[in-house]
Structure 1
């Protein structure tokens, strides 16, 4: 009998040995329930073929679709699932909990495996994500980690996580460093994929304990922060971290090594700032790129672009509840700053209970 779940946390803790997404590779790539493996019973071309035929002749489409689904399901049993023992318990889903997942689950049960399906399939997961991120306030007690560009906020989040602090790395989930030069290899997840990762992360956190999140705009690269998260961030208290310009320039030189090492790409990106910073400023940056003066370039970008943009974006933001200065941003400096941020976090928002 199909199973129903009432929250992302409940579905993520499904208790089965494996979670199988039988949708096409394209559907799976757009978004899927975390932890699911893709064993498609229709590939992208087959799904398109059956869908087109269904609009013309539903009965013929069901016949062709059944043949393809059983053929592909048999192939999975003979290959991907051949080594599974008799005690294996899989949970299967498709787009809406219908024929694709039902067919594979039935076949697995006939073999002797205790398989089941999710009521509503992927659409149920998507409804749970939407409810958590769009339709009701977050239950979490957020605190923002604020600071100028280059103050190692993401590195600090990782160190704080290692110290047991609850954190959400939004830039990591969005696979983007949140700036003009912030694109990362592999590209960004889809909006649905980003929201799935975010909902899964929040579902694992204790609402009674504070959650540290980097202060961001409402968009990271091309991914929008969902309304419930953005509303919580707008009223959250802030801890502001600062560091000397030279330390920030050195940190950016390392953190952005990929883009700084590609002069042509770097010039293309910085060229977009000519209407905002002027030709003379941008030409000066190009001269530093041509000369290979990376530290001078990162310092110039901090002083002539990032700090100006940061001050403008902070207009209207509340004052920080705590200030933490990092004298250096090497490993010992980040560790020391993380300890002071953890102490400040405990003062701003003591643990409940």
Structure 2
């Protein structure tokens, strides 16, 4: 079984499958993108083995681990065969590159696979992830505009035109505001970091990179400070769309959600919204008038976005003003023309 560092391991992972020997809970908290979970232990089994290691001895822990793993060995082989036939190669790792990945690597190697293990395990990978956030992107351009301007759609159209993008909302599975997480599965901070790291490493730093003007927090995911600081200093193209069009978009995106979800979203910004606006918003939701409720939300977010603009260090290089918002594809073309 060969071992290699995180950078080489990730290069190999572009071509060969990765099998993560950690528990389902560890995997759910964060994993290498596209990895397959092949847990040697269940969550409960790992807890039991760990307790024996601490309270009894290493030998007793190993023996108990063999009790758990032995009956599963054939299943492991069959699960790997569903993804890759021998000789592979196949890539394996656990938390620190210790007994779990060594055991899985030995089993697969015995069966005839060429196995490559991640030296230092997932912990080494996470250090690599954090290092990638120091990558300089000198041609970054920020796409800005008030809530409801349709920035994310424009960002996707820029990608369709061959531009490089970092879609922070897509990576966080959240649309940015208090309402942005409605009916969306939560992404952990670790997984957000891992997926973002992969996007950054695939960028060409010599070309333009577009990123939406997000706050430090996108839902519950924090944008890494080195990237956020670069974004604050990068030039900005600002979309200026009429209040009518912005409100139309807000109603279209959120108006069909359950009243309870909308009330919870307003509850999260209650203190900053103010008691009177909060009361009006809730009364409007109860009356089925989300357009009025949306007006209250936009007043709050417009003010917050204004504060964010004041904190930026980078210049506004273009303002694209639309009384009637054209298609996102057309706006994307206008953005490219301005830079």
TM-score between both structures, scaled by the size of structure 2: 0.91
Kept in 2, the 8 Å contact 1:143–1:237? The answer is yes
Counterpart for residue 232 of structure 1: 230
User: Which sits farther off after the overlay, 215-224 or 268-277?
Assistant: 268-277
Answering whether residue 304 of structure 2 is matched by residue 309 of structure 1, we say: yes
Q: Deviations over 1:76-116 (max 9, x none)?
A: 22455368533432111111112111112111121112222
Alpha-carbon distance, 1:194 to partner: 0.8
SS in 1 for 2:4: coil
In structure 2, the CA distance between the partners of 1:13 and 1:157, relative to structure 1 (3 Å rule), is: farther
Corresponding residue number in structure 2 for 1:288:
284
Partners of 1:186 and 1:70 in 2: CA distance:
39
**Any conservation in 2 of the 1:144–1:212 contact (CA below 8 Å)?**
yes
The answer for the alignment partner of 1:179 in structure 2 is 177
Q: Give the structure-1-normalised TM-score.
A: 0.88
Tell whether the 8 Å contact from 1:142 to 1:211 is kept in structure 2 after alignment. Answer: yes
Match of 1:342 among 326, 336, 339: 336
Mark the CA change 1:144 to 1:103 in structure 2 (over 3 Å): closer, same or farther. Answer: same
Counterpart Cα distance in 2 of 1:60 and 1:274: 55
Unaligned runs of at least 5 residues, structure 2: none
Residue matched to 1:36: 35
Show the counterpart of 1:156: 154
**Hey, what does 2:252 align to over in structure 1?**
254
Counterpart contact for 2:263–2:282, Cα < 8 Å = yes
How many residue pairs are counted as aligned between the two chains?
337
More displaced stretch, 316-325 vs 170-179? 316-325
The structural deviation recorded for 1:124 is 1.6
Distance 1:3 1:184 in 2: 43
Listed as ranges, the matches of 1:126-145 within 5 Å are 126-133=126-133, 136-139=134-137, 141-145=139-143
Q: Which moved further from structure 2: 313-322 or 116-125?
A: 313-322
* Counterpart-to-counterpart distance in 1, 2:105 and 2:275: 63
Alpha-carbon displacement from aligned partner over 1:202-230 (angstroms, at most 9, x marks no partner): 11111110110011111112211112111
1:275 and 1:97, CA in 2 relative to 1: closer, same or farther beyond 3 A? Answer: closer
Closer/same/farther in 2, CA of residues 116 and 244 from structure 1, 3 Å limit: same
Compute the RMSD of aligned alpha carbons. Answer: 2.2
What is the CA–CA distance in structure 2 between the aligned matches of 1:144 and 1:202, rounded to whole Å?
15
- Report if the CA contact (8 A) 2:20-2:94 is conserved: yes
1:247 & 1:66 partners in 2: Cα distance?
A: 63
Segment drifting more, 64-73 vs 154-163: 64-73
Following superposition, which runs of at least 4 residues in structure 1 exceed 4 angstroms of deviation? none
Rate the CA distance shift 1:288–1:71 in 2: closer, same or farther, 3 A: same
The 3-state SS of whatever aligns with 2:27 is helix
